[in-house]
Amino acid sequence: MSAGNPLREPEGAPILIDVAIVGAGPYGLSIAAHLNGRGVDFRVFGKPMATWLNSMPQGMFLKSDGFASSLSAPGRDHSLRSYCIRNGIAYDDYSIPVSLSTFTDYALDFQRRLVPELDQRDVTVLASMDGGYMLRLEDGECVHARRVVLAVGISYFDYVPDVLCPSGRQFVSHSSAHRSLERFRDMDVTVVGAGASAIDLAAGLHETGARVRLVARTPAIHFASMPKTGALSRWQRIRHPRSGLGPGLRSRLYCELPDVFRYLPAPLRLMIVRRHLGPSSPWYLRPRVMGKITVMTNHEIESADVRDDRVHLVLCNGKPEPVTVSTDHVIAATGYRVDLQRLRFIESDLRDRIRTAGSMPRLSAHFESSVPGLYFAGLAAAGTFGPLLRFVYGTEFAAQRISQHIAATRKAA
Ligand SMILES: Cc1cc2nc3c(=O)[nH]c(=O)nc-3n(C[C@H](O)[C@H](O)[C@H](O)COP(=O)(O)OP(=O)(O)OC[C@H]3O[C@@H](n4cnc5c(N)ncnc54)[C@H](O)[C@@H]3O)c2cc1C
């Protein structure tokens, strides 16, 4: 390769491996644990649990139930439940919310025990090369892999509505930018959104000493009801069956039938992934916000501009006169939208060869994209397999399926 080539190998021969996993969140770690169990030659790259440790508010509780918040590994019980029992942490499958710190401590313990070989360097370039792949790591070292599993999670896909984008980061940020809320003490902050992230942030901001306003398009803020403990009646089991995505018949179907979901027409799949379970918060967040912050439901942002170091929002609420709001900072808790083009570390030639539905990759039954040997797991796979893949609960399905296929096609590779 020429000296100007961004993929130039700095020195020595590159390392050659069968499989490279990019990302060490719940999906990357679970896939690694399963590949380990099947004796596949692999390397896994990335900082363990980086999204959860850096981009979620301290003090947060998980939205998913305890039983649905385990990483997946073959063999003995490696669940969150057994971690909590071993460490004397109060646990219940349904009624005790899981704290962010318990979940990240559990996942880091999982990594140390089951994926000790994790290489914590980030992958800065991925390109196809000689029928396989070339990965460049953050320190310049290059690795060649026959196959690559992209388990890069959600962080590339944070979504801020266009109307807010021109205001600049000093005045508008995405919810994922705030691990600590201390900088907002005594400030006037407007949170946009109606989902759990928005409510969680609004509660945290209020408790930090900020003046908080929540702006949402929805007619009301929806809180899920407190989970029922003990056995459910037959009618409750039929009407609201339990599932890894929470109670409900549809959620149960999306958990049980991801292979069937794959056969739905693409526009319907994408619509379901976008809308299923949207905006709703766990029951325990209600007392932390209601009556404590200003809630403006049924309001949509029409325009935003920055004057005199404040953001001026014009909101419409269906009435002839728009409402104006002046605030120090706007936080968009408006979620994540997969767009393959945002994965800039993938060389454009390779990115352009990945067939998509909408802006999500089209995947085979084994999570393989249209480019042979390139797999996607986690949120990017939700467009194919449904809402299950947006949550930790989907790690079992994805890790089993991907590792099985990779092990079975080892010789062919
Ligand atoms: C506020 C909030 C609360 C949530 N609560 C829940 C919940 O209660 N239950 C639930 O199931 N889900 C929840 N989710 C969704 C959750 O994010 C996903 O379920 C989960 O993170 C998916 O795991 P993942 O491994 O796909 O992604 P991630 O956790 O995002 O992990 C991906 C990893 O890949 C790494 N990575 C990315 N690019 C590279 C690269 N180039 N090189 C190396 N490493 C790289 C990242 O640093 C990261 O560590 C929540 C999301 C948010 C934003």
> What is the per-residue pLDDT across 155-210, written as a single tens digit (0 to 9) for each?
999 999 999 988 888 999 999 999 999 999 999 999 999 999 999 999 999 999 99
Place of tokens 């979901």: 261
Pairing type for strands 123-129 and 188-192 reads unpaired
Give yes or no for residue 277 having a pLDDT over 90. Answer: no
Q: Is residue 345 within 6 Å of ligand 1 at its C-beta?
A: yes
Q: Which residues pair with 189 in a beta bridge?
A: 212, 329
When computed from its CA atoms, the radius of gyration of the chain, rounded to whole angstroms, is: 22
| Higher-scoring residue by pLDDT: 13, 266 | 266
pLDDT at 233: 79
Span from the CA of 4 to the centroid of ligand 1 (angstroms):
34
SS3 336: strand
Mean residue pLDDT of the chain comes to: 93
Q: Residue 372 — φ and ψ, nearest 5°? A: -55, 135
Give CA separation, 136 vs 22, 35, 149, in Å: 11, 22, 15
CA–centroid distance, residue 343 to ligand 1 (Å): 15
Q: Ligand 1 centroid vs 134 CA: distance in angstroms?
A: 24
Task: Say whether 142 sits in a helix, a strand or coil.
Answer: strand
Ligand 1 lined by 152 (C-beta under 6 Å): yes
Determine the average pLDDT of the residues in 141-158.
97
Return the HEC string of 147-192: EEEECCCCHHHECCCHHHHHHCCCCEEEHHHCCCCHHHCCCEEEEE
Q: Is 26 in the pocket of ligand 1 (CB under 6 A)?
A: yes
- pLDDT band (50, 70, 90) for residue 340: very high
Report which ligand 1 atom has the smallest distance to the Cα of 63.
8
State whether residue 213 is helix, strand or coil.
strand
Between the CA of 54 and the centroid of ligand 1 the distance, in Å, is 10
Nearest-angstrom CA–CA distance, 364 and 5: 33
Cα 60 to ligand 1 centroid, rounded to whole Å: 15
What pLDDT shows up at residue 213? 98
Portion of the chain with pLDDT greater than 90, in percent = 84
Tell me the pLDDT band of 7, cut-offs 50, 70 and 90: very low
CA 244 – CA 251 distance, rounded (Å): 8
Q: Which atom of ligand 1 is nearest to the CA of 50?
A: 49
User: 57 C-alpha to center of ligand 1: Å?
Assistant: 14
Q: Cβ(395) to ligand 1 under 6 A?
A: no
236 — pLDDT class (breaks 50, 70, 90): confident
Q: Which atom of ligand 1 is nearest to the CA of 27?
A: 25
Q: Say yes or no: CB of residue 153 within 6 Å of ligand 1.
A: yes
| Site to substitute for ligand 1 among 391, 393, 396, 397, most atoms within 8 A of C-beta | 391
Decide whether any atom of ligand 1 lies within 6 Å of the 399 Cβ: no
Q: How confident is the model at residue 11, as a pLDDT?
A: 59
Element (H, E) at 201: helix 196-208
Nearest CA to ligand 1 atom 9: 64
- In a mutational test of the pocket of ligand 1, which residue from 30, 63, 99 has the highest number of ligand atoms less than 8 Å from its CB? 63
- Of the listed ranges 83-97, 119-133, 222-236, 346-360, the one predicted with least confidence: 222-236
Regarding pTM above 0.75, the answer is yes
pLDDT band at residue 234, thresholds of 50, 70 and 90? confident
**Alpha-carbon distance 168 to 157, whole Å?**
18
How high is the pLDDT of residue 105?
A: 98
Ligand 1 atom showing the smallest separation from residue 69 Cα = 11
| Residue 295: partners with Cβ closer than 8 Å, 6 or more residues away | 213, 214, 216, 221, 289
Determine the pLDDT at residue 410: 81
What is the pLDDT at residue 2? 36
3-state secondary structure of 120: coil
Pocket probe mutation, ligand 1, options 80, 155, 346, 395, max atoms within 8 Å of Cβ: 155
Share of the chain above pLDDT 70, in %: 95
In which band, very low, low, confident or very high, does the pLDDT at 153 lie, cut at 50, 70 and 90? very high
Q: Tell me the two tokens of residue 86.
A: 């071993």
pLDDT at 303 exceeding the cut of 90: yes
Chain-centroid distance of CA 411 in Å reads: 33
**Phi and psi at residue 326, in whole multiples of 5°?**
-115, 130
What pLDDT is recorded for position 58? Answer: 87
Tens-place pLDDT, residues 77-127? 999 999 999 999 999 998 899 999 999 999 999 999 999 999 999 999 999
Number of other CB atoms surrounding residue 321 within 10 Å: 7
Question: 277 alpha carbon to ligand 1 midpoint, in Å?
Answer: 18
DSSP conformational letter for 125: E
360 and 338 Cβ atoms separated by less than 8 Å: yes
For residue range 116-144, list pLDDT tens digits in order: 999 999 999 999 998 899 999 999 999 99
Q: Cα of 237 to ligand 1 centre, how many Å?
A: 31
Beta strands across the sheet bearing 329-332? 172-174, 329-332, 188-192, 211-215, 294-296
Q: What is the rounded average pLDDT of the residues 356-384? A: 97
Ligand 1 lined by 51 (C-beta under 6 Å): yes
Task: Give yes or no for residue 1 having a pLDDT over 60.
Answer: no
Q: Which atom of ligand 1 is nearest to the CA of 62?
A: 8
The DSSP-derived string for 258-325 is HHHHTTS-HHHHHHHHHHTT-S-B-GGGHHHHTTTSEEETT-EEEEEEEETTEEEEEEE-SSSSPEEE
Q: CA nearest 156: which of 23, 27, 264?
A: 23
What would the pLDDT profile of 14-67 be if each residue is shown by its tens digit?
788 999 999 999 999 999 999 999 999 999 999 999 999 999 988 899 999 999
Closest atom of ligand 1 to CA, residue 28: 25
| Model pLDDT, residue 225 | 78
| Residue located nearest, by CA, to atom 31 of ligand 1 | 25
